[in-house]
Amino acid sequence: MKSILSEAHQVPFAAQVEEIVASTPVYDIHTHLYEPAFNELLLWGIDELLVYHYLVAESFRQHNLPYDKFWALSKTQQADLIWNSLFIEHSPISEACRGVLTTLHAFGLDVKKHDLPSIRNWFANRKLDTHITECMQLAGVKTICMTNSPFDDLERPVWERGFQRDERFTAALRIDPLILNWPEVAPKLAQWGYNVEANPSSGKTFSEIRRFLADWSKRINAQYVMVSLPPDFQFPANTMSASIIEHAVLPHCRDTGLPFALMPGVKRAVNPQLKLAGDGVGLTDLTMLQNLCAQFPENKFLATVLARENQHELCVLARKFRNLHIFGCWWFTNIPSIIDEMTRMRIELLGTSFTPQHSDARVLDQIVYKWQHSRRVIARVLLEKYLELGQDGWPVSRAEVERDVKDLFGGAFERFCKS
């Protein structure tokens, strides 16, 4: 079948789509970055890029250093080892390695010389605020949403002291310990002035948890409340985790209009010797998400799922429940081949009523490569779909492409949060 667009018109249209996708500012709705006020918690620079847990795990496949000896090295020594084993002794063709090179190249650094000391020297002479601005410009990111936990002993005091907020950053309230480890969290809440019981026998504890959530949502101006979950998590269930969600988290989110973001599929510490790099992935029973969406229609749910095998079912659930907004290619699915597959499937099932990507960046510089790589995939998929519309007699204008991309890059998410 011939397209109604001639070959002469297809090339300029393709260039338009690529230009619009490349230049539209994005709201990066889930990261592990921090505002400058958090000082050392905001990670950036070449050594942080190289000791990122993706590369740590990958490097152990190429060198024979025992785990304990690796962790005894300084950060610079670890970075040197990873650079040599993944970039010098082998071609850096994995997505995590390529991402480092994409980022360095975007900064105008010459990587052909393989000169790590000179790259270090370049970063050492950078000022943080300038670096944040340039990273965001190169990534095309207008707003970064952090992940913020009151249970982090390094982060909590910063919020409690108060600081001048950086308008480029928003916050999300992370509550994994509250939901998944109540016996350890209960004494902390009691110490912080919340009248909770280790084994609650009445609604008082749930009311106090709601007060805690309200206090912290207000303190950080949370955009949503979030939790990552193991693959076997169930709801409803006769567990403290399910009870806290039903009687505290969901009422709080309804009262405030905040979405509740669920990120299931994480198997923690599959290999404890790898520390942060040792987590794995498992297939999730999404019946729990279906039950939440069906039983609590007044709540809004955000979801991204770690296992590739769960992605189709998640799309189908989003078709059935308008109180569910799916987002991002998370963690192990954040590689071009799977980003392509997931984005294509989501567009075919959901149109533009989802958010195709978030960076999940732990190091500031990573937003550069994660968004540059993702934009290329998203542009390719969109172009294919627009050309198919043209074959069916529905030409798409530049204004319509701009509208759609704005939706995909944060507009649909923001409307969902405000609905």
Residue-wise pLDDT tens digits, 257-287 = 999 999 999 999 999 999 999 999 999 999 9
CATH 3.40.640.10 fits 7-41+143-418, yes or no: no
Rounded Cα distance between 27 and 167, Å, is 13
Mean pLDDT of 3-19: 73
Number of Cβ within 10 Å of residue 80's Cβ equals 17
Per the model's pLDDT, the better-predicted residue between 199 and 145 turns out to be: 145
Give φ, ψ of 264 to 5 degrees. Answer: -90, 155
Name the pLDDT band for 102 (thresholds 50, 70, 90).
Answer: very high
pLDDT per residue as tens digits for the range 339-386: 999 999 999 999 999 999 999 999 999 999 999 999 999 999 999 999
| Beta-sheet pairing, 141-145 with 169-174 | parallel
Q: Is residue 319 over pLDDT 80?
A: yes
Among the residues of 150-220, which ranges form H helices?
156-161, 176-180, 182-191, 204-220
Rounded Cα distance between 166 and 372, Å, is 24
pLDDT value of position 108:
97
pLDDT value of position 5:
47
For 46-125, CATH number out of 3.60.15.10, 3.40.50.150, 1.10.2020.10, 1.10.10.10 equals: 1.10.2020.10
pLDDT per residue as tens digits for the range 113-142: 999 999 999 999 999 999 999 999 999 999
Rounded Cα distance between 141 and 135, Å, is 8
pLDDT per residue as tens digits for the range 56-98: 999 999 999 999 999 999 999 999 999 999 999 999 999 999 9
pLDDT value of position 11:
73
The ranges assigned to domains in the chain are 7-41+143-418, 46-125
Name the pLDDT band for 9 (thresholds 50, 70, 90).
Answer: low
Q: Is residue 3 over pLDDT 70?
A: no
pLDDT value of position 74:
98
Rounded Cα distance between 280 and 361, Å, is 18
Burial label, 324 (beta-carbon count in 10 A; 0-12, 13-18, 19+): buried
Mean pLDDT over all residues of the chain?
Answer: 96
Which residue from 162, 217, 168 is spatially nearest to 33, judged by alpha carbons?
Answer: 168
pLDDT per residue as tens digits for the range 208-247: 999 999 999 999 999 999 999 999 999 999 999 999 999 9
Q: Which residue has the tokens 């785990």?
A: 67
Q: Name 320's Cβ contacts closer than 8 Å, sequence gap at least 6.
A: 290, 293
| Beta-sheet pairing, 266-267 with 280-281 | antiparallel
Q: Is residue 1 over pLDDT 90?
A: no
Strand partners, 266: 281
Name the pLDDT band for 202 (thresholds 50, 70, 90).
Answer: confident
pLDDT per residue as tens digits for the range 175-188: 999 999 999 999 99
Q: Is residue 149 over pLDDT 80?
A: yes
